[in-house]
A and B are shown apart, each in its own frame.
Chain A
Amino acid sequence: EDQVTQSPEALRLQEGESSSLNCSYTVSGLRGLFWYRQDPGKGPEFLFTLYSAGEEKEKERLKATLTKKESFLHITAPKPEDSATYLCAVFYGQNFVFGPGTRLSVLP
């Protein structure tokens, strides 16, 4: 069964405490994996697209990596303003499926 999962469901970090979020997928014919940030009451904000295993992309304190089965979003020295829900989405065939998200809280 095609599936997209994310872990952990929620993560609480102290400011400056680096960590990683996971997005695992079991789909055939991956065309792209996307990461988004969503603040409460807002639409998702696009962060990264990864297309092939081994690919990495960075933006400020965020770095996304991709393997054949999963993607990681690494957050280095997070700040309170990084608090949000982080969603991954997988594009395969004609399907675009979101994971359930990881709610990140960064405490000052």
Chain B
Amino acid sequence: GAVVSQHPSWVICKSGTSVKIECRSLDFQATTMFWYRQFPKQSLMLMATSNEGSKATYEQGVEKDKFLINHASLTLSTLTVTSAHPEDSSFYICSGRQTEAFFGQGTRLTVV
């Protein structure tokens, strides 16, 4: 199956700083990638759709200025959490969707 690599797997940052999460498709080209957020014991909630070479599409309620998405190539999408606050602490997961959605390993973000 398709392989999606996400990095880092966990990160701790201070409140007010920015954090970048990378999502790479290793064996396929992804014109579209998807970013999800998951709180403990809850399911995945789609945050935004990342489109190669164009602006991301954000779900309702997701602040586009806070969660910056860049999809500069067919194999790399990045999510930057800007001016992070403790309430941004969560598990962030990306996926590249072909016929089935294959997910990255996830990034545990803790803002202190």
Contacts and interface: CB of A to CB of B under 8 A. Distances in A.
Contact count band on B: 20 to 34
A80 to B, nearest CB: 20
Instruction: Tell me which of A42, A49, A87, A100 has the highest count of chain B C-beta atoms within 10 A of its own C-beta.
Output: A42
- Secondary structure at chain B's binding surface: helix, strand, loop or mixed? strand
Given A42-B106, A43-B106, A98 B100 contact: no
Contacts, number: 44
Contacts of B91: 41
B67 interface: no
A73 interface: no
- Secondary structure at chain A's binding surface: helix, strand, loop or mixed? strand
A46 B106 contact: no
Interface of B: 1, 4, 6, 34, 41-46, 91, 93, 95, 97, 99-106, 108
6 contacts: A43-B4, A43-B93, A43-B104, A46-B101, A46-B102, A100-B43
Interface of A: 34, 36, 41-46, 49, 87, 89, 96-101, 103
